[in-house]
């Protein structure tokens, strides 16, 4: 008979806790834990990047996930807004006459102010993602990690349909879009599970703009030092700071992964601009990048 030893507690995958007092049983448990870990790594390796990081190739995947929760009022409202935006676009679609310019950047980079100023100076529309049409729903999804990426992803498509109805009139300057949704989702996934996940390599399909989403003529990212970003971000009210923004401030590796993801994006490739300069100089650089795309 095996000699009993002091009781040992081990936490196993799935939150299970076993208490054992036999060396033989302890060896069995060690094998089970090791096998479970190997199986997890193997399954992740076999999954494509979109499944591994819970991202979407197209709008069909987003709708499929959200329809599982359509009994929830915020999800029902979001789907209704999407269907209305799509119907309006399809009924009033006109030939695209003007460019769509997307401004990206971390929170506090100055992209929102620049987007607003460029739209005013260059006689365009200023838009944002998530768009105003879903703004009232944002808080619910920001604090619901299972649905957050689906909300922001569908918000990109809603904005795309809304903007598609405007590009025959004026250029549109968009504060964030698909690039942010993807870069932040990738960064957060790695931060949550650094043992099993690393950022996908450059060239992965996850970095390519979706074929079914309105494509911008140019994407520009304002890159700023962390000191400048924090100073600008501190001007916001505390009630405007989301869990994601707190992670951005507290986790350098997360910030670095988000920027790396931006740099890997293609079709269209992102143009990086130094946003540490004063407002006037940065605006001047942006106008020089954008003006050649505008119709005179």
Q: Determine the average pLDDT of the residues in 221-249.
A: 78
Distance CA 76, CA 72 (A): 6
CA proximity to 53, closest of 227, 173, 205, 238: 205
Question: How much is the average pLDDT of 193-216?
Answer: 96
Give the CATH fold of the 53-293 domain: Rossmann fold (3.40.50)
Please, which pLDDT band fits residue 201 given cuts at 50, 70 and 90? very high
pTM: 0.82
Question: 219 pLDDT exceeds 70?
Answer: yes
The tokens describing 224, both together, are: 């700023």
- Per-residue pLDDT, 8: 44
Euclidean distance between CA atoms 91 and 105, whole angstroms = 34
- DSSP 8-state class, residue 272: E
Q: What is the pLDDT of residues 164-181, one digit of tens each?
A: 999 999 999 999 999 999
What is the pLDDT at residue 237?
Answer: 60
Mean pLDDT of the 268-293 span: 95
The 10s digit of each residue's pLDDT in 10-63 is 444 444 444 445 554 444 444 444 444 444 444 445 478 999 999 999 999 999
| Domain regions of the chain by residue span | 23-49, 53-293
Per-residue pLDDT at 145? 86
Q: Which residue has the tokens 């030092």?
A: 225
**Could you give the percent of the chain with pLDDT greater than 90?**
70
Largest CA distance in the chain: 91
Q: CA-to-CA distance for 12 and 169, rounded, in angstroms? A: 60
- Which of 101, 113, 96 lies closest to 292 in space, CA to CA? 101
């Amino acid at each position: 008979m095996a000699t009993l030893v002091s009781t040992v507690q081990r936490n196993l995958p799935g939150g299970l806790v076993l208490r054992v007092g036999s060396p033989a049983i302890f060896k069995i448990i060690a094998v089970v834990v090791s096998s479970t870990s190997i199986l997890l790594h193997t399954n992740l390796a076999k999954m494509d990047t979109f499944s591994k990081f819970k991202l979407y190739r197209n709008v069909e995947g987003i709708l499929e996930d959200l329809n599982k929760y359509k009994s929830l009022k915020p999800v029902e409202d979001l789907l209704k807004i999407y269907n209305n935006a799509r119907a309006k676009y399809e009924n009033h679609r006109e030939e695209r006459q003007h460019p769509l310019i997307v401004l990206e950047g971390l929170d506090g980079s100055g992209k929102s102010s620049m987007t607003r100023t460029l739209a005013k100076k260059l006689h365009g529309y200023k838009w944002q993602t998530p768009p105003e049409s879903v703004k009232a729903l944002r808080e619910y999804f920001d604090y619901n990690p299972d649905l957050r990426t689906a909300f922001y992803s569908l918000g990109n498509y809603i904005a795309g349909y809304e903007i598609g109805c405007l590009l025959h009139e004026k250029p549109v300057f968009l504060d964030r879009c698909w690039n942010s949704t993807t870069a932040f989702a990738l960064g957060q996934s790695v931060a949550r599970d650094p043992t099993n996940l690393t950022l996908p390599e450059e060239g992965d399909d996850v970095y390519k703009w979706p074929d079914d989403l309105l494509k911008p003529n140019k994407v520009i990212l304002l890159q700023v030092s962390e000191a400048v970003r924090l100073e600008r971000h501190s001007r916001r009210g505390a009630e405007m700071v989301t869990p994601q923004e707190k992670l951005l401030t507290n986790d350098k590796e997360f910030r670095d992964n988000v920027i790396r993801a931006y740099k890997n994006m293609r079709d269209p490739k992102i143009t990086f601009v130094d946003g540490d300069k004063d407002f006037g100089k940065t605006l001047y650089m942006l106008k020089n990048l954008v003006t050649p795309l505008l119709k005179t």
